[in-house]
Amino acid sequence: MLTNGGCALITRQTTLRGARLRSGNATMMHRWMALLLTLLAFSSINVAAQTTAADQQVVRVVADGHAPITLDHTALAAMPRVSVTAAAHHEPPSQWQGVALQSILQKISAPSGEKLRGHAMTTIVRITAPDHYQVVFSLAELDPMLGNEQVILADTQDGHPIAKDGPYRIVVPGDKRPARWIRNVTTIEVINTALPSP
């Protein structure tokens, strides 16, 4: 039979165990909260880094006889925007938005309209990606008075910035096979390929 002293001792031990248990639970909760906050912080940093990288990536536009220009996200957003609906490979059609390649060529005074004749008819537009993949268009096929081929430098797909293949991608809705839908565009060159006169 327990005496009053024995009962008091058991009560104190039980109380002490309960306090330790509550303290341990509180410590574990604090650790979990700290871990959660750390993960959220890293996630935010990662998203911010991706956004910054997209904002900082530029497209260089180079043409014979003209100083190169660079187009970043802000510069492209300020230019006239166009939208097209097209599908690449077996993907469902997407809404692509960006700037017409013809509008970009006007910024470096590429010949167009009545000025596109003679040796200028041999001018090509070569587009390059970081992995050195390249595609070529003739200036004549892009000109509204000749081929009038619709080609855009897209920066959004279905209303969202292009992530997987971006931030900039060439989209050619009229091509039956999207081999010229070059991804991660970094350089647009305007090159005259005319042979020297004999």
- Domains of the chain, by residue range, sit at 1-56, 58-192
Model confidence at 20: pLDDT above 80: no
In the prediction, which pLDDT does 46 show? 43
Domain 58-192 has CATH 3.20.20.10: no
| 131: nearest Cα among 83, 187, 92, 82 | 187
pLDDT digits (tens, 9 = 90+) for 65-106: 889 999 999 999 999 999 999 998 888 999 999 999 999 999
pLDDT band at 164 (very low <50, low <70, confident <90, very high): confident
Q: What are phi and psi of 64, to 5 degrees?
A: -60, 130
Q: 151 — alpha (psi -120 to 50), left (phi > 0) or beta?
A: beta
Show Cβ contacts of residue 56 under 8 Å, excluding neighbours closer than 6 positions: 72
Average pLDDT across the chain, whole number: 83
Task: Give the closest residue to 185 by CA, choosing from 61, 80, 65.
Answer: 61
Q: What is the CA radius of gyration of the chain?
A: 31
- pLDDT band of residue 130 (cuts 50, 70, 90) is very high
pTM to 2 decimals?
Answer: 0.72
